[in-house]
Every structure is written in structure tokens, then in C-alpha cells.
Structure 1
Amino acid sequence: MDEQWVKERLEWWIETARAARIRGFYNGANTTYGFTRESDQHYGELRDASPQVHAIIKRVLGRTDVPSLMKRSDKAYWLEEGIEFAEHALAVVKTRAETRAKLGTTAPSMKADALHPTIWKAASGRWESGHYSDAVQRAATALSGHVKDLTGRYELGDGELVAQAFSLSPAQEGKPRLRWPGKDEDLTVKSMRVGMLNMAQGAFAAIRNTATHSTEDLPKQEALEQLATLSILARWIDKCELVTA
């Protein structure tokens, strides 16, 4: 939502609708009435803008029962109720930024200690001391060790390890596979197996290797996202079956 534009439209409507109200004498007093007529100079622009402003108010207030901003009665168009709704909507827009700042965002948040236990256990010590790249590197190393424990392939480096562990070719003597369970001809199963192979290779090349060799520490948010990627991979591995020759 373009809040600046919304404020300008609401402010325009309130000012113009107030100016359009009929004025006259009643019981000897100068009175401003709550309606306008087609003869008023502002009638045309209010009429043309009313559908747009009505939609703005509905959106800002989250209501579907906003009445017509120009309610016709005989030859008059009543404006007061519409002005009140516009003023309410304007107040909401003006205080929205402050409300967000005080109450916090409603966007979902992720708890680091809810990541896969293998990942967070390895990362937590360095994370809590503010060494985010080191935390990611340790988590990736722990995940590599987990794959080695499952497959017994301690002699392989990380890249070759995951390439063989998640290989789509049949298992060979001394070269077991970690396979997503299911029938080989199932399209979803095929997609998961291909995806795990690609993701594992990408994670160790782009996440572990970068964290290991870079001299710059990762920003906290980026490091958390990388830990989440490793966590997803770890959870998928938990569901895999070990296939031997």
C-alpha cells in the first residue's frame, strides 16, 4: 500500500467534502449542514472520486460495511458519515508505522534452537558468541560427519561424499546410497532424489566451503538462512533409506 498516496487522497476528500457542505442561517445562527447539492462547485469532483476513496477506506479499515460517502436523500447528498469514516481511516494510516514499531511485525519468525538438532548443536556455541560464519562452518561439518557415519565413507571429501551418497545410480560394493523412500517410477520420489543430490552439492560448495575459506564474517540474518538450508537437508536425510549393494 502506498501510504503517502492514501493519506493525500483521504485528506483531500475530508477537506473537499467539508468545503462542499451547505451553509445557511437557521434560527438566526450561521449553520453548516451535513449535505451538499449537485449545484455545488465541488459536487462533480466528489462524485468522481467517491468510488476510489470508498475503496481506500474499506481497505484501510478492513471493513466491507463502509456506507456510501455521498448518501442521496431527495436532492441532497449527505457527507457527514463519509467524512467520519475518512477521518477514521486517515488516523489509522497515520499511526500505522508507529503501531508496527511498537507492536513488532506480524511476519513469521524462526527460532534457531528449533533447527535440526545436528545443525544447531554444532552451531550454537559459536553463534552465541557472535561468530556466525564459524557457526555455519561447524554446522556443515557436523552434517558431513553425519552423512559419513550413515554411509561409512570416511575417506571422501565433502563434495565427493554427497555426490556418491545421493547418486542416482545403483549402489555398489562399498558405495551405499542414501535414497528418498518410495517407488523408483514415482515422479515425486524422482524429484526428491534429484533435488537432494543437487541441494547437497550446492550446500557444501556454496555454504560450507565459503564459510570455511572466507575472511569476512556473515551477517546474522544471512547466517541464519544458511543454517536453515542445512537444517532442511538434515531433516530430509533423516527420512532417507540406506541402500547397499
Structure 2
Amino acid sequence: MLESPLEARLSRHLTLTFSERDALRWLERRERSFRAGDVVVHEGEESDSLYIVASGWLHGSVKLKDGGRQILRFYFVGDITATFSIAWGYSAATLRAVSDTTLYEMPKAAFGRLFRDHPRLGALLFAVAASEQVAMADRLTSVGRTDGFTRIATLLLDIRSRLRVVDGLAGSTFELPLTQQDLGDAVGLTKTHVSRSLKALEETGLVERNARVIRINDVDRLAELVDFHDRHGEVATDWLPPVGARGDMDHSETRVREHM
């Protein structure tokens, strides 16, 4: 059986049991496809589902008072999206496809059962989410405290780091299906300032652009220059509950019980 996107993502941090792998695949039963630009869920819309990204890119954004938007984060293969609605019955942000995208839709209740029946998986998901929150805090600090050059460089380094984790990207060349408006909305710059910042990056020789393809020629040097910290590598797993902890039952048994 082929690895599921979420299974592949989590397997980079922990060797999963058969039962845990089966539980993750069980979440990926309802497939939905979206074209680039499609909205999956609108800000303020009632929502009781989460989504696992099977292919493509998405972003979550909020509308600003002046009619603009702030892109909060990007989502890639293996990510769980729309978690910004998990605490409420409505979505706190708009989820939009950046490229043609395939998602697995799962009800919040099914996600909750994963935590109940497989606490080790739940703890690992919490650890991964915590690392992503720190990465978001780094980017927000960059937006609030640095110039356009540093903001764009930090975003490119962060995307490159995320792709290495979720797609197994080797090297420092990747396709960037984002417009200058997208980049500006993610780092708080106008399109003009984004263009100038990208040009300044290219002039250093540290970054090259060829249409939608980005190449970072010296990741370490660029990271040092803009004080970038890679938060998307390994996460600590020594504190996770052991397999067989209370509630960690065989997933097939769980399904049988749910249908009794």
C-alpha cells in the first residue's frame, strides 16, 4: 500500500506502527480537487472539517479593514489545513488553492478520534504544530522588524525548508507558484517593494530566478545574513507516550466499535 501524504510527513520524525499508519490512511477517504485560485473555505464560514494536502499549494489569509489581505501561512503536501477553525464552528481565515490542488477532507470528529485512539500520533501532531507556530512567529518578527530584503529572503528560506520536509526536496532549487502580490501579502510589502527586494537578492548572487523557479546558491550564507532559523527539521520525540499507551488501540478494532 502506498504511503499517505500525512503518513509520509510524520514518518520523517518517527517510525510508525502498522496500526498508526492504518489510522492515518483511514482519514484520507474523501478526496476533493480544486483549481488554482479556488477558495476551499471562506473566512467566517461555518466549518466542521479539516483537510490533508495530497498535492499542490494553498495559503490561509485574513481580510484587512482596508480591503487588503494578510497571508498567514502556506500549506504543502502532508500538511493539515484549516486548523485555524478547529477551536470554533467557523473558519477564522480563508483557505485558497495557490495551484491545482487535491485534498482529503476529514471531519473534526474523525481527527479527534485519532487523538483518543492513538495518543502517540496526537502528541507528534502537537509537536509538529508547535514547531510551525515558532516558525510563524519568526516570520512575523521579520515582518515587523526588518526591511523588504530580509522579509523576502526569510520567506524564501522558510518555504525551501518546508519543502525539504514535506516533499523531500533535495538541494536549493524549487518552483515558486506565487505572484508578487502573494509574496507581498505574506510579508507586508507592496508589489513594487517585492520586485525591488527580489532584484536586490539577485544582485547579491545568493538567489537566482528563472520564471517561477528559485535557486538559493548559498543557503547558509543567506540564512546568516538575515538571521534565519530553520524550525522545520527534526522535532523532539523522546517525550511522546509509548505505543500501547491507554487509548492506543488497533485501528481496525476502533472502526468495528464505531459501527456497533
TM range (shorter): under 0.3
Larger Rg: 1
Indicate the structure with greater helix content. 1
TM-score by length of 1: 0.23
Indicate the structure with greater strand content. 2
Bigger relative contact order (CA 8 A; separation at least 6): 2
